[in-house]
Amino acid sequence: MPESKKNTSVPATVTKPKASRPAVPVRPRKQAQPKTDDEGPRNELIAKSARLFREKGYEKTTVRDIAAAVGMQAGSWFYHFKTKQEILVAVMEQGMRRSLQDIEAISVQSLPPREAFRQLVLAHLKTLLAPHHDFIPVLLYEGRSLDKAERAKIVALTNRYEAIWDEVIDALHRSGDWAMPTKLDKLFLFGSLNWTTQWFRAGAGMTIEELADQTVAFLLRTAPTKRNK
């Protein structure tokens, strides 16, 4: 996912005796919003648009393509959206909100830092690689197509998403599994995770769960830590 622009650096710490495993601060759970009457058709339009944007690109996808994919007449989708740009925003916003819900559902505050990190990696990979999850890949590669004001809305959601990762990385730092976090850490982290959309193929000998386990093992093995200094 897009990299956060805020600095996640924290002061270095000196070696100290092992204490009880640090817990990640508790985050309040989100409650589901009530459904509206037109949610079904609207969500179908968003999902089909996400698939088209991923396969053809935003610029090459026409409103007629979208209408045909949903089985509507060319002008019927104007009931839900006024412009193609609004559909793109809805695709990205829905993708980010679903991703937020997925990682907020993980009780990271009750897990050891390494397991909390594994759960975040697994959720992120599932978002990227599970069938019919076209929302986040569109966010990754079509962000340049957003207007400035609309981009700010998506960045706000992205920052909320990354804040949860910051908490877990900070917990890893306190437990000695991650050295002093820097602003480059998440660039490398999300860069490696997001690139799996280019090469991972389901059913080709590795499950998403196995990929998550190997990814975590690699990231925590190669990350500088207080323990291996």
Rounded to two decimals, what is the model's pTM? 0.74
Model pLDDT, residue 109: 85
pLDDT digit string (tens) for 154-198? 999 999 999 999 999 999 999 998 988 888 888 999 999 999 988
Instruction: Specify the CATH number for 83-222; select among 3.40.50.970, 3.40.50.720, 1.10.357.10, 1.10.10.10.
Output: 1.10.357.10
The rounded distance, in Å, linking the Cα atoms of 10 and 203 is 41
Question: What pLDDT sits at residue 209?
Answer: 94
- The encoded tokens of residue 125 equal 């990979």
In the chain, domain spans: 83-222
Cα dihedral across residues 82, 154, 100, 29: positive or negative:
negative
For residues 194 and 224, which has the higher predicted lDDT (pLDDT)? Answer: 194
pLDDT band at 212 (very low <50, low <70, confident <90, very high): very high
Return the ∠ at Cα 96 (arms to 215 and 81), rounded to 5°: 145
Instruction: Return the pLDDT at 130.
Output: 80
At 173 the three-state DSSP class reads helix
State the amino acid at position 214 in one-letter form: Q
